[in-house]
Amino acid sequence: MNEETNFWNHFVESVRLVSENPNHPALAHVQQIKDGVNLKDENGDTPLMLSSRTGHVEASKLLLGMGAHIDAQNVNGITALMLAVHGNHVETVKLLMANNANVHLKTADGLSALRTAKIGTGLTKLFARSKIIAMLHQAGAKE
């Protein structure tokens, strides 16, 4: 498990603990998280983009529930959906599409989520990519 995955696991657990105890001292921090859910870093990445890149479904669900903008684009035009597709994170792609992620957006270079899936590499990821491509086609995605 890498450091980024550990962060998202901790994030999910922290939000769960606070939500189960309305008098928890960290409750004020939950409001800060909600206020910052759509803040962007120097690359224009949002927390949802970062959790989607690692395929952390539970963190992505929490962020969407807190009002994360699903179709936000970073400085290169990349979205959370594109990052999940690039990482072959099938469950995260399903989650984003179930929450109406726009499959038609393109990067600054003109790449769509579908095109990203089609140019993926590695035979070990072939099954995930073919499943993602089928889901994107079903949603009406075009290159």
Residues 34-55 have pLDDT tens digits of 777 888 989 999 999 999 999 9
Is pLDDT of 143 > 90?
A: no
Q: What is the CA radius of gyration of the chain?
A: 16
The whole-angstrom separation of Cα 121 and Cα 44 is 26
The residues that bridge with 106 in the sheet, in sequence order, are 112
Residues 77-101 have pLDDT tens digits of 999 999 999 999 999 999 999 999 9
Domains, the chain, ranges and CATH?
3-138 (1.25.40.20)
pLDDT band at 116 (very low <50, low <70, confident <90, very high): confident
pLDDT band at 74 (very low <50, low <70, confident <90, very high): very high
Number of neighbours of residue 60 by Cβ within 10 angstroms: 29
pLDDT band at 1 (very low <50, low <70, confident <90, very high): low
The sign of the dihedral angle between the CA atoms of 43, 49, 53, 58 is positive
Q: Provide the strand spans (E) within 35-125.
A: none
Tokens of 60: 């992505």
The sign of the dihedral angle between the CA atoms of 140, 127, 74, 48 is positive
The whole-angstrom separation of Cα 40 and Cα 47 is 8
* pTM of the predicted model as reported, rounded to 2 decimal places: 0.81
